[in-house]
Structure 1
């Protein structure tokens, strides 16, 4: 459901409060009442737009300023993917974002509504990133049958694993090697 048309005036504060509380307390302790108190709104303000905490969380993941990044247009697919990799790494390296991601991922197996929220987040990102691939196709840098979702999964998945699981940082040289490997393969 698209709730952007009926967003409350303090939607950004609600989204920021949702993510902050999720990072601090985890999914189970996240409540609409706590979000309302942190955001400085009455809980009915939230319930007029969102029926559950998962609906608030879904919109927070997609629309919160803390998780936003610009879609690059450097003039080349390699340059755009490198910029996307830098932005993804920056988001994953932020301690608060790391706690949000961990809380969401840990809630996924048992909570279909949270899985749906995460799915909306990734669908939104891929939808925004599609412009990178459309431009690359127009420039002749990409085959018509290239799978943009797989490319982003390879790029983003590596950064998630490298940053969150291995707990390593990714410097510019690593990001360049990653992008080049995704673009050329391992042969």
Structure 2
């Protein structure tokens, strides 16, 4: 399939998810919105869960390339800012909340979201590999834990508590994770 047509399908998938939730997302609706025959969509993705899984990983809307600021602190702050943008700016925020909210009740969607996070972490791993080569990160540090702490802070603050993220939120969150909070 042509990349442009594929992106149209993914865009339609994510728009419908955001507008109607997982229950309202249908391959027929995606076909109508994207201008692609539904048999073509089914040829590439056997179910709406498979289509959504591909859209979550491949859609331009959710793409976030790992930063390379030259240092671990700057890279992590940029990652936090990227997650914050994803979770606070429509339409990406609507997609993220709809997908993860529905994943609780739909095992096939839970698998799709796991694929999204696995892909995202695989891309982010370069940040930690570079930091280790520069001597900024110990060999014992757990990159996934660091990402979970930082992204979890954004999720909790922005989505669950519905609180604004201050301009210095990313720097403060990264500092708390890298430097700790104990008095020295």
Q: In 1, are the aligned partners of 2:99 and 2:113 still within 8 Å (CA)?
A: yes
Is the partner of 2:104 in helix, strand or coil? helix
What is residue 20 of structure 2 aligned with on the other side?
Answer: 25
Whole-angstrom CA distance in 2 between matches of 1:144 and 1:160: 27
- The yes-or-no answer on 1:140 pairing with 2:117 is no
For normalisation by structure 1, the TM-score amounts to 0.93
State the 1:108 CA deviation: 1.7
- Would you say the 8 A contact 2:65–2:123 is kept in 1? no
From 30, 35, 44, the counterpart of 1:35? 30
Per mean C-alpha deviation after superposition, the further-off stretch among 112-121 and 64-73 is 64-73
Determine if the alignment matches structure 1 residue 120 to structure 2 residue 91.
no
Contact residue 86 and residue 96 of structure 2 kept, 8 A? no
Give, in whole Å, the separation in 2 of the partners of 1:19 and 1:186: 39
Of residues 160-169 and 53-62 in structure 1, the stretch that sits farther from structure 2 once superposed is: 160-169
What secondary structure sits across from 2:19 in the alignment?
helix
2:61 matched to 1:66?
yes
TM-score normalised by length of structure 2:
0.94
Q: Could you tell me how far apart the structure 2 residues matched to 1:55 and 1:104 are?
A: 13
The residue aligned with 2:146 is 151
Q: What is the total number of aligned residue pairs between the two structures?
A: 182
* Distance (Å, rounded) in 2 between the aligned partners of 1:92 and 1:106: 13
Is the 2:13–2:55 Cα contact (8 Å) retained in structure 1? yes
Cα distance, 1:79–1:12 mapped onto 2, change above 3 Å:
same
1:15 matched residue in structure 2: 10
Deviation at 1:45, TM superposition (A): 1.2
- In structure 1, the gaps of 5 or more residues are 1-5
